[in-house]
Chains A and B, each alone.
Chain A
Amino acid sequence: MNISPAIRNLYWKEARQLLPLLLLLGAVAFLLHFTAAIIHVRPDQAAQIHFFAFIGLPALYAVGAGAMLIGQEKEQRTILWLQTLPIEPRTIVVTKLVVIFIGLLAAWLLSFTLAGFYNWRFVVGMGTSSSSFFARGDIIQEDGLLLTWNLHSIFLILCSVWMAWRWDSVFSGLVALLPLSILPGLLGFLLTVISSDLLGFGLWSELYCRVVALVMLLVVAGVLSWRAGTRFLTAAPTKLAAKSSRLTLAANRDRTVAIVPHSPTAALLWQAIQQNKAFLIGNGLLLLAAGCYLIRFTKFFVADIVSNSRYIAYGDDMNFERGWLFVIIPFAFLAVSWLGASTFITDGLHNRIRFLADRGVEAKTAWWTRHAPPLAVIAAVFLATGFLLLVSFGETYNNSLWLCRGLILLLPPILMIYAFAQWAGQLTSSPFLGAIAAPGIAIAALAYISFAVTVLGCPIWLVALLCVFPMIATYLAMGRWMDRRIDRSLWLIHVGVAALLVGASFLPLLITKASVPRMSSKHASELNLAYRSYSQTTSANSNFIFEFSPYRIGWGGQNAPTNYRFTPLDEVSQQAVEGLKQQLSIHRGAGLVVAATYHLMPEATLARFASQASPDDLEKRQKYKDRMSIISDLVYRMRQSSRLIDQEDADRFELFLLYELSQPDVSSVLESDLHRSLVERLADKKSRQQARIRAVALEYGKSKWKIEELNKIYRAGEDGISWRSIAVLRSRYDRLYEELWILANGGKSAATPQRLGMIAELFNAPKMLYGLEGEGQFFRVDDIDQYADGIVSADRVMSGGYIRKFYARQWFAGWEDQAAALKTTGDSNE
């Protein structure tokens, strides 16, 4: 096919014209992907942001393409020049459509590239569910979303082209596009209802109906856009020129309406309203529609709260409502952004604002009279939504009052979007680019604000203050902007305010970092040195999990069948003990126990009772010896562990050993060799202290920069914590380990009530658990006979797992001396 140089140039011109849109959308999508990657949200929420950035880029392109290639040309009147060229109108229409569709391919390519930048597997695997980063990718395949989304994008393109040919104002075309965009959904729903409910075609799936609806509408939109384009271009150029100028149009009429300003301010307000009338009404209605939908959605939410069940919230009805929410929220967002943008962008068109500047209108007056109309629209929509809310919840008046209060909570985010979107008005002189840039700037601002809150730890009051910054920027720059002095000073104002905004958001973090107390340098260097020294002799994954779980072997069990044959407890228990013995013989290194292994201790006590009741029964005696020996071995392995929780468990097991060995006649049951070895191990204070010192150093060294460790102790939240919270918690964590380090090294003399109290405080633990206040004597064991905190109760350990993480409760308490005294007594007896 031969293409003439003129046509080739035309294609090139159209492509260049489309490029800024692709670049702008690419930048917004990049920012969204980047935000999703850095802000602290749950992985599935981050995946959702990535996913919507991925599919959102081509969709937004489809919305803007028509306005970019046609609307902007009409706005700048280059369309008139184009019409004078010796090119067939049909060729111009075809050229524009071809370039727009090539642009759609480019938009998808760009979106894939950006998504692939964050997860290359997504691009290769086309979003299979194995790609957790894009967990929502499976939707594409399951719901046929890729097909319908693309068909919908093509439909949007054709509609945007149609609207751009049809409407003189770019804004009006964009606003009119919004209701058109939901037509395929409505028609698809209608077809589903007709086919399944009325005609009974069971085979007509929902997806099939959606595709049929889209194809039907594509044909209609294609015909309409084609006809609108050719008609527009075949009209007489003079008529077109006249049509593109409102003043000329007005002059052609027989009547004009005179302005009757009561005052200069009133005149300015009147002018601001008239200039954006269609735009204000269009976006106001869109916002009101969103408000009305919000009321409908709220009814489901209230039903959920009131019924106190999750049934409604996750039923089919709610899914349907949620589906609509994904349509309504972007619409409302766009409406607010465009209301914000409307403040200045129409004034910037063809330097209209100069008219006011030349007549000595003050900058501040011009500034607030531009803001008042869109803000009044937002206020009116709020009042109307509130009124409708009161009316619709008439039966439960109290509820509607609560919801009205809730409605007010939506005002701050809306004003925030507005404040950032209005910035776009002064940053661009093209209404079309402003209309595209305003939502982009608002999205970027929302992303930054969420970064400031979740990552920097910015307090809410400061966020509210930050949102005033864009208003300050446009206010300060108003005079220069009105005079059209678009120079370095004007940009300095905007950049300066933006820099201040960013700087202010970092302030709380910097102040916190500078003010929190730190670990002393002496102890920090000691801990680091010890960590380096111990870590050389410890392999990273040397811990083995020793488990004693008779109930897992088959004694009872959750799913015991009705004809279940009872296995005697003794038999099952013995099997578990043998299993544990085998584990100990195979795995020679350090170990840890799970809470269920605590059951071994009451097992041992009962074995002692059984043996004492039948002193001549060697089998019973052996059972007791086995259990005591295994417990002692487990303690030995736990002491080798680098984890503090294992040291804590070892303390508990040793308390049990001490309790058992303190019982009368126990030495005769155990027989001298085993009794001696158990007592010797128990009396070894030095090894115990060394194990604690080593565990403190290794645990601190390993977890020094891990946020999960802070979360483990302080339960700061699953969704991640801000850098500011980390700074505070890090300080607490460091001081906690400093105290543990001093205690572990100092031994009994360091275990002062003050230090134990400080450790309790740094753990957020009740002081009673550390032997202080209240009934502390029952919790910190100075006398084994007074220990009442469930020496052997596994249920208690499992239900009190939280308490189990308060370390050093038993370090250097009186029980260690009692354990040492057992050896002394034994030695003197011998």
Chain B
Amino acid sequence: MSNVTIEQDKSLFQKPFLLIGLPLLGLILVIAYLAATEIYSWFRVAAITKRLTAEGVLATSEELQARYENPRSREGTIAWTRAADMANVMYPSSTFEKLPFVGNGPIPYDLSNKNPPSFESEMAAAAGTYLERLQPAIQAIEAAAQFPTPVWQPFVSTDLYLLLPHLQDARDLVRLLALDFEYAVFEAQRERALKDLRLIERVIAAYSDREGVVYSWYEISIRQDLLRAVNSSMSADLWTAENLHEILLRIGPEFYSLSTITNEAKQDAKQMRTNLEKQTAIPLTPSIRFAVLSLFDEDYSQAILNTKNNWPKYYSQKSEDFAKALLQRNVSSGEQIAGIYIRHEIERQLTRTAIGIKKFKLQEVRWPTNLEELKVVGLGPEDWTAVGKYRFGFEVDKDKAYLWGPDTRDELVPPHRPSRNSRADDSSRLVLIR
């Protein structure tokens, strides 16, 4: 032991309080800070929720039900239900879409062909038998169409995730009418076709429910059925100038506008509360709620404005931010909403332009050399320029004219007429006009 020297070790291990106290204190401080932010967020969430609820933005299932019920007429409820019941005999909609009757063949097909292939005529005959059998359903729609709109439908908001059966009914009704319209065009029954168009408009008016984005999307899909039917009729030699004028009116005004989108976005927020409560992937601490609510509250209109300015890149925008990603998972984002409206608007513009071309042909007895000439039939650049930026493609080939819009995959208008292989492939937005 004689060699032992006593010295003071100055290493960190000689300072136990420092060694142990610092990390413990550090962690306690971090936890205290996070706890404080959670408490602060809790109060802020309560305040924002209170304000948004007072503004009528955040609603519960019951409030949603009340909003649905209040402005609706009960007079036509029974009549529309009876009509929907009968239209429902078409069996599941998935079956309907696979049916190979008229309108489901390769489009644009040549409706004026004097010798249609036996297959097509067989399909038309079968569709005719089917439609004859369903005439009582169409008559029921006519009877229901007399009542004031919008109509209260038996819909109970038991669960915001539930399918919306009353809007499914509307789709069944419109599909039946669209089929009847196509068949009437095929058989050159002009009045029947026009009647179907008028009834489709009444169905939309009766069932129209703009109480949120999902609801409006149903209406858009119904309107899309209408636009497709009208587009396909452009290749038939059926319409007079007056008919075309009427159809142009029935296509309806612009469905999309900044105010519409903003309003829809706000409506959609009604579901946010429920959706957020139901999602289980991430624990919803007050701070996360606060971040999501704040983002929604402050950035929504801005996001929509950006969407409008930056189109067509909206679909490729993905948020890098966790809170925003969470928001987008539970509520449709401004970009998503705008995207759907914009796509519908392009379809509407395309149909208007196609009708304009047909009208020009009837009026001037020749095809227009370019779209600018459509001004003589009352159309303007706002009709043939997709959302004010991309001019539609147009080509005349002997006795046919072709109109096409931006491709749905890249939202760019192809310089040359695109080809189309099947009905399922509607990405090219190609319309044949004869």
* Chain B window 305-324, contacts with chain A (Cβ cutoff 8 Å), 1 for yes, 0 for no: 00000000000001111110
Scan residues 78-109 of chain B and give those whose CB is less than 8 A from a CB of chain A: 78, 81, 84-86, 88-89, 91-96, 98-101
A/B interface sample: 20 pairs, CB < 8 A: A255-B4, A256-B4, A256-B5, A270-B14, A308-B329, A372-B24, A376-B21, A379-B27, A402-B322, A405-B287, A408-B34, A551-B92, A566-B123, A568-B126, A568-B130, A766-B65, A789-B154, A790-B84, A791-B81, A796-B169
Min CB distance A50 to B, Å, is 26
List of 7 A-B pairs having minimum Cβ-Cβ separation, nearest first: A269-B16, A380-B23, A609-B136, A379-B27, A602-B89, A379-B23, A556-B95
* Contact status B13-A795, CB under 8 Å: no
Most chain A beta carbons < 10 A, residue from B26, B288, B318: B26
Interface residue from A256, A273, A567 paired with B19 (Cβ < 8 Å): A273
Nearest B residue to A269, CB-CB = B16
* Contact status A306-B27, CB under 8 Å: no
Interface of chain B: mostly helix, strand, loop or mixed: helix
In whole angstroms, how far apart are the Cα atoms of A253 and B152 in the complex? 95
**Interface residues in chain B, defined as those with a beta carbon under 8 Å from any beta carbon in chain A:** 1, 3-9, 13-14, 16-17, 19-24, 26-27, 30-31, 34, 65, 69, 74, 77-78, 81, 84-86, 88-89, 91-96, 98-101, 119, 122-123, 126, 129-130, 133-137, 152-154, 156-159, 162-163, 165, 168-169, 172, 281-283, 285, 287-288, 291, 318-323, 325-326, 328-329
B133: which A residues are within 8 A, CB to CB? 569-570, 606, 610
* Contact status A602-B101, CB under 8 Å: no
Number of residues in A with C-beta < 8 Å to the partner?
Answer: 87
A194: which B residues are within 8 A, CB to CB? none
A779: which B residues are within 8 A, CB to CB? 154, 156
Nearest B residue to A794, CB-CB = B88
A778 at the interface (CB under 8 A from B): yes
Given A308-B325, A568-B129, A786-B78 in contact, is the A599-B91 Cβ separation under 8 Å? Answer: yes
* Contact status A566-B122, CB under 8 Å: yes
Min CB distance A266 to B, Å, is 5
B93: which A residues are within 8 A, CB to CB? 795
Scan residues 484-535 of chain A and give those whose CB is less than 8 A from a CB of chain B: none
Given A255-B3, A270-B13 in contact, is the A560-B86 Cβ separation under 8 Å? Answer: no
A127: which B residues are within 8 A, CB to CB? none
* Contact status A570-B129, CB under 8 Å: yes
Nearest A residue to B171, CB-CB = A795
B152: which A residues are within 8 A, CB to CB? 775
* Contact status A778-B95, CB under 8 Å: no
A277: which B residues are within 8 A, CB to CB? 13
A203 at the interface (CB under 8 A from B): no
* Contact status B89-A606, CB under 8 Å: yes
Given contacts A306-B321, A765-B158, 20 further A-B contacts (CB under 8 A): A256-B5, A257-B7, A258-B7, A305-B329, A376-B19, A379-B27, A398-B291, A409-B283, A551-B92, A555-B95, A565-B122, A566-B101, A766-B156, A779-B154, A787-B78, A789-B154, A793-B84, A795-B92, A798-B92, A802-B158
* Chain A window 791-805, contacts with chain B (Cβ cutoff 8 Å), 1 for yes, 0 for no: 111111011101100
Nearest B residue to A403, CB-CB = B322
A95 at the interface (CB under 8 A from B): no
In whole angstroms, how far apart are the Cα atoms of A270 and B23 in the complex? 16
A302 at the interface (CB under 8 A from B): yes
Scan residues 369-383 of chain A and give those whose CB is less than 8 A from a CB of chain B: 372-373, 375-377, 379-380, 382-383
Min CB distance A184 to B, Å, is 35
Nearest B residue to A602, CB-CB = B89
* Contact status A566-B100, CB under 8 Å: yes
Scan residues 726-781 of chain A and give those whose CB is less than 8 A from a CB of chain B: 765-766, 768-769, 774-775, 778-779
* Contact status B322-A790, CB under 8 Å: no
Nearest A residue to B93, CB-CB = A795
Min CB distance B187 to A, Å, is 17
Nearest A residue to B328, CB-CB = A308
B325: which A residues are within 8 A, CB to CB? 305-306, 308
A257: which B residues are within 8 A, CB to CB? 7, 9
Interface residue from A274, A602, A774 paired with B69 (Cβ < 8 Å): A774
A782 at the interface (CB under 8 A from B): no
A785: which B residues are within 8 A, CB to CB? 78
Min CB distance A245 to B, Å, is 16
* Contact status A398-B323, CB under 8 Å: yes
A81 at the interface (CB under 8 A from B): no
B13: which A residues are within 8 A, CB to CB? 270, 273-274, 277
Nearest B residue to A309, CB-CB = B318
A550 at the interface (CB under 8 A from B): yes
A1 at the interface (CB under 8 A from B): no
B130: which A residues are within 8 A, CB to CB? 568-569
Interface residue from A376, A556, A560 paired with B23 (Cβ < 8 Å): A376
Min CB distance B303 to A, Å, is 16
B17: which A residues are within 8 A, CB to CB? 266, 269
A251 at the interface (CB under 8 A from B): yes
* Contact status B85-A790, CB under 8 Å: yes
* Contact status A373-B20, CB under 8 Å: yes
Most chain A beta carbons < 10 A, residue from B24, B77, B85, B99: B85
Nearest B residue to A549, CB-CB = B91
Interface residue from B31, B78, B94 paired with A788 (Cβ < 8 Å): B78
A558: which B residues are within 8 A, CB to CB? 94-95, 98
In whole angstroms, how far apart are the Cα atoms of A560 and B7 in the complex? 93
B98: which A residues are within 8 A, CB to CB? 556-558, 560
In whole angstroms, how far apart are the Cα atoms of A778 and B78 in the complex? 9
* Contact status B154-A775, CB under 8 Å: yes
* Contact status A606-B159, CB under 8 Å: no
* Contact status B323-A306, CB under 8 Å: no
A258: which B residues are within 8 A, CB to CB? 6-9
A256: which B residues are within 8 A, CB to CB? 4-5
Scan residues 681-724 of chain A and give those whose CB is less than 8 A from a CB of chain B: none
A562 at the interface (CB under 8 A from B): yes
Min CB distance A483 to B, Å, is 25
A254 at the interface (CB under 8 A from B): yes
Scan residues 398-415 of chain A and give those whose CB is less than 8 A from a CB of chain B: 398-399, 402, 404-405, 408-409, 411
* Contact status A408-B8, CB under 8 Å: no
Given A270-B14, A560-B100 in contact, is the A602-B321 Cβ separation under 8 Å? Answer: no
In whole angstroms, how far apart are the Cα atoms of A260 and B20 in the complex? 17
Most chain B beta carbons < 10 A, residue from A255, A379, A609: A379
In whole angstroms, how far apart are the Cα atoms of A778 and B65 in the complex? 15
In whole angstroms, how far apart are the Cα atoms of A569 and B91 in the complex? 11
In whole angstroms, how far apart are the Cα atoms of A386 and B21 in the complex? 18
* Contact status B81-A790, CB under 8 Å: yes
B288: which A residues are within 8 A, CB to CB? 402
In whole angstroms, how far apart are the Cα atoms of A512 and B103 in the complex? 63
Most chain B beta carbons < 10 A, residue from A373, A411, A786, A800: A800
In whole angstroms, how far apart are the Cα atoms of A270 and B12 in the complex? 10
B31: which A residues are within 8 A, CB to CB? 408, 411
Scan residues 113-133 of chain A and give those whose CB is less than 8 A from a CB of chain B: none
* Contact status B85-A398, CB under 8 Å: no
B92: which A residues are within 8 A, CB to CB? 551, 795, 798
* Contact status B69-A793, CB under 8 Å: no
Min CB distance A88 to B, Å, is 39
In whole angstroms, how far apart are the Cα atoms of A768 and B155 in the complex? 10
Min CB distance B69 to A, Å, is 7
